[in-house]
Amino acid sequence: MDLAPPRSARARTDTAARPLEAAAVRSWDAADPLRDFRERFELPPDVVYLDGNSLGALPRSTRERLAQVISAEWGMGLIRSWNDSDWIGAPRRVGDKIARLIGAQPGEVIVADSTSANLYKLIHVALAARPDRSEILSEPGNFPSDLYVIEGALRATPGRVLRLEPAERIADCISENTALVVLTHVHYKSASVHDMRAITARAHEHGALVIWDLSHSAGAVEVDVGACNVDMAVGCGYKYLNGGPGAPAYLFVARRHQATAVSPLSGWMGHGRPFDFVDRYEPARGIERFLCGTPPILGVLSLECGVDLLLEAGAAQLQAKSRRLSELFIALVQEMCSDSGLRLLSPADASARGSHLAYAHPHGYAIMRALIDRGVIGDFRAPDALRFGFTPLYLRYADIWTAVITLRDVLRTQCWSEPRYAARAAVT
Amino acid sequence: MDLAPPRSARARTDTAARPLEAAAVRSWDAADPLRDFRERFELPPDVVYLDGNSLGALPRSTRERLAQVISAEWGMGLIRSWNDSDWIGAPRRVGDKIARLIGAQPGEVIVADSTSANLYKLIHVALAARPDRSEILSEPGNFPSDLYVIEGALRATPGRVLRLEPAERIADCISENTALVVLTHVHYKSASVHDMRAITARAHEHGALVIWDLSHSAGAVEVDVGACNVDMAVGCGYKYLNGGPGAPAYLFVARRHQATAVSPLSGWMGHGRPFDFVDRYEPARGIERFLCGTPPILGVLSLECGVDLLLEAGAAQLQAKSRRLSELFIALVQEMCSDSGLRLLSPADASARGSHLAYAHPHGYAIMRALIDRGVIGDFRAPDALRFGFTPLYLRYADIWTAVITLRDVLRTQCWSEPRYAARAAVT
């Protein structure tokens, strides 16, 4: 038996031309360089969690750190902890850590607000920098909040329009009219990856700016905003970064843009001298100018614990395991669930997708409900997509085996004919 | 000895014409109807905490609740907790609780983002509702973040200006040109209270809207936005509401304004059908339309614990004790610190101020550092103001005695001549 993890599970099944065996899959876990990270998370027993792309799991270090922050820093330190525990420096400190995950430099990333609020800030920055251009370019089906936020920013900005073009046409549609391109690097549903380097370069050729949403990338997919010469980016703290429910988000602004970029959400924490309490706004010199209100300390410090684990694992290892997990899932579905009506919506080529997979099925909602009832937690995205996320820090190859066996059983039982699975409700 | 708390400590000293005694003050604690609340907070020993108006103390219930949220709801429940633990309903549920504190109706308040971000949203709403009026009216020295946020909102809105007029002239300056008046109900430094009812009425006479910042009011001062016919309001979660460092804020929009009010920060959680993932923004029907990104669950649920305690105590009791605490402080300073150079910046009449006191002193910064070193924690606001906050849930009358004794000693030692107290640094 070959104990070394194969380059790809699909390649292995193709060449071996025989079914994958549970024992083989277990042997990959034994050889997994990230195998010890699972024990550093709190995970419910009897659950295979394939939704870490929606809400990352709880690191044990986070639980301990938050207990300390709450009891010692808030409870005993009280207001003094802004200085004594450096709460005041936390948004920048954690931003600098996230910078290392995405190829940014220190001082180019800050933790603040939500992804949507951060996108709003950066859209205004971009529009102010390109006053004579009329278009913001994005794609239909982009993560809806990104589109809604563009709408919101344009509502008070007459003379600008949102132009939606299919992903494959985006590069060709960038023109001298384009002020800004707003794209999600890894698509939230299909997991398709945009060519960050090529689209950014194309935008720059035409004098346009680009904002990348890294919410489904950072922490699972290698990202290098520096090498790709990215202008600005935003990203989510509660998915692959394991910052906890509703954790604060982050934003990246390349240093070359910072001096002229002023946030519309110019709250006091973005002021150069917030504790002088002067009446006029003077933005802080660096990335701190993108802070708005008082930072949400529990969330920022929770996020820091999650990011620390990712940095310890390393972005290259994370991406390598993420791909092996999803390749294995695809191969097992091919083997065990053929003729089930499942159709892969994600790119078949691992290098063209992020760290989750989407499958269409006419009874997708019922199937996901039944899977969750059996302890395999993925999620559902309307109208028909089952989504399975592969978080390399706490998933084992054996979990993928369990998940697909369960999926096979659910499909065999035709759960959608059961009344309890018929009604559709929100699955966040 | 009179065991009943006097109507006001000042009145008592005036009429009794003799010094207050420690034993008398302790007897007021024994008769305090809120005395049992102190034990429901975690407080450091040997500290008199007079900065709850900056960061409220930690309720024991919050520590326990957060431990449960982190371990059980996030750790074990994972993504399922959005529904199973009703995380998704938390911003509205806690908003409805805050509504009871400020005289609003259910469905008029929601917890979201920061005070500054919420103010930004409501300024845009007001400007959209008054398209032909050029002025936003506020006062110089208003809480700076509020002024900065107005600046930020106006930067992308040509043709509108911010007009600053002294507090006493605000009502007279409201005209047919006024789109919006933005005021902080209780001034963050002086604690002066604006006449919410009169200014709101005056604005309405002229067709203007008003946004009140309740950050230094709710939880310590009685507020009735309904009776005052207030249009919109924002407020802070981490001061008197005890929501924890950087806790999310809240906003109020009177029901009559909701249907036409659209947030510029139109993120997905404010959408009417967020889980349908459609491309176009359709605001939710009610107050939920003012949500933006995914709510910060740790912060929202921490805030809920703090608000629950305030509701249990009742706004009238809170205000009554708050006034007695500050009256006692003033009386003791008069007695013990006469000729010390301290000058009361706050209104002497308790009904004209909020729940903190500011004193000017040329060596204010050094005095506050020395007080903090001796366990009496207030804060300093440039250029010369010592600020002491009186939180009725966890302060005892005896604490006020201790604080003023310590202040007297610090003044006697002329701490400002010591090198360690000479340099000025930020006190958050």
Contact at CB, B74 and A87, closer than 8 angstroms: no
- What is the residue whose two structure tokens read 């006449």? B195
Q: Which two tokens stand for residue A335?
A: 């083997």
Neighbours of B3 (CB within 10 A): 9
Query: Is B422 an interface residue toward A (CB < 8 Å)?
Result: no
Rounded Cα–Cα distance for residues B189 and A301 (Å): 30
Phi, psi (deg, nearest 5) at residue B358:
-120, 135
**How would you write the pLDDT of chain A (428 residues) with one tens digit per residue?**
333 344 444 444 443 445 678 888 989 999 999 999 999 999 999 999 999 999 999 999 999 999 999 999 999 999 999 999 999 999 999 999 999 999 999 999 999 999 999 999 999 999 999 999 999 999 999 999 999 999 999 998 889 999 999 999 999 999 999 999 999 999 999 999 999 999 999 999 999 999 999 999 999 999 999 999 999 999 999 999 999 999 999 999 999 999 999 999 999 999 999 999 999 999 999 999 999 999 999 999 999 999 999 999 999 999 999 999 999 999 999 999 998 999 999 999 999 999 999 999 999 999 999 999 999 999 999 889 999 999 999 999 999 999 999 999 999 999 998 888 876 544 44
In residues, how long is chain B? 428
Contact (Cβ atoms closer than 8 angstroms) between residue B265 and residue A116: yes
Rounded Cα–Cα distance for residues A251 and A108 (Å): 8
Query: Is A80 an interface residue toward B (CB < 8 Å)?
Result: yes
Q: Which amino acid is at B144?
A: P
Contact at CB, A246 and B300, closer than 8 angstroms: yes
Contact at CB, B78 and A71, closer than 8 angstroms: no
Contact at CB, A277 and B49, closer than 8 angstroms: no
Residues 6 or more apart in contact with residue B189 via CB below 8 angstroms: A277, B141, B345, B358, B381, B385, B387
Residue B426 has pLDDT above 60, yes or no: no
Is A143 marked active-site?
Answer: yes
Q: Give me the torsion for CA of B199, B205, B207, B212, rounded to 10°.
A: 20
Between A and B, how many residue pairs show a Cβ–Cβ distance under 8 A? 295
**pLDDT 10s digits, B156-192:** 888 999 999 999 999 999 999 999 999 999 999 999 9
User: What is the residue-wise DSSP string for B367-411?
Assistant: HHHHHHHTTEE-EEETTTEEEEE--TTT--HHHHHHHHHHHHHHH
Contact (Cβ atoms closer than 8 angstroms) between residue A329 and residue A357: yes
Closest residue to A281, CB basis, from B151, B156, B271: B151
- What is the residue whose two structure tokens read 């695809």? A330
Phi, psi (deg, nearest 5) at residue A110:
-140, 150
Whole-prediction pTM: 0.95
Predicted local distance difference test score (pLDDT) of residue B419: 86
Contact at CB, B264 and A152, closer than 8 angstroms: yes
Nearest of B211, B184, B204 to residue B126 by alpha carbon: B211
Query: Is B189 an interface residue toward A (CB < 8 Å)?
Result: yes
**pLDDT 10s digits, B260-287:** 999 999 999 999 999 999 999 999 999 9
Rounded Cα–Cα distance for residues B95 and B110 (Å): 4
Neighbours of B23 (CB within 10 A): 9
Residue B19 has pLDDT above 90, yes or no: no
Contact at CB, B275 and A76, closer than 8 angstroms: no
3-class DSSP assignment, residue B247: coil
pLDDT band at B11 (very low <50, low <70, confident <90, very high): very low
3-class DSSP assignment, residue B95: helix
Spell out which residues of chain A touch residue B88, defining contact as CB-CB under 8 Å: 426, 428
Of the residues A213, A231, A379, A399, which is catalytic? A213
Closest residue to A148, CB basis, from B113, B245, B266: B266
Predicted local distance difference test score (pLDDT) of residue A19: 64
Contact at CB, B156 and A280, closer than 8 angstroms: no
Give Cα B40 distance to the centre of its chain: 21
Contact (Cβ atoms closer than 8 angstroms) between residue A303 and residue A282: no
Closest residue to B120, CB basis, from A114, A265, A274: A265
Spell out which residues of chain A touch residue B78, defining contact as CB-CB under 8 Å: 44, 47, 49, 51, 55, 57, 377
Spell out which residues of chain B touch residue A128, defining contact as CB-CB under 8 Å: 156
pLDDT band at B382 (very low <50, low <70, confident <90, very high): confident
List the catalytic residues of B: 143, 213, 238-239, 387
Closest residue to B266, CB basis, from A73, A151, A157: A151
Query: ipTM score of the complex?
Result: 0.94
Rounded Cα–Cα distance for residues A72 and A314 (Å): 31
Helix (H) or strand (E) holding B151: helix B144-155
Closest residue to B71, CB basis, from A47, A63, A377: A63
Of the residues A239, A289, A324, A381, which is catalytic? A239
- What is the residue whose two structure tokens read 């009812």? B197
Residue of B43, B130, B145, B182 to mutate, testing the A interface (most A Cβ within 10 Å of its Cβ):
B145
User: What is the residue-wise DSSP string for A197-252?
Assistant: HHHHHHHHHTT-EEEEE-TTTTTTS---TTTTT--EEEE-SSSTT---TT--EEEE
Contact at CB, B82 and A428, closer than 8 angstroms: yes
Spell out which residues of chain B touch residue A112, defining contact as CB-CB under 8 Å: none
Rounded Cα–Cα distance for residues B108 and B253 (Å): 5
Q: Which two tokens stand for residue B330?
A: 């003033």
Residue B244 has pLDDT above 90, yes or no: yes
Q: The dihedral of CA B157, B158, B159, B162: what is its sign?
A: positive
Nearest of B253, B294, B304 to residue B270 by alpha carbon: B294
Contact at CB, A147 and B280, closer than 8 angstroms: yes
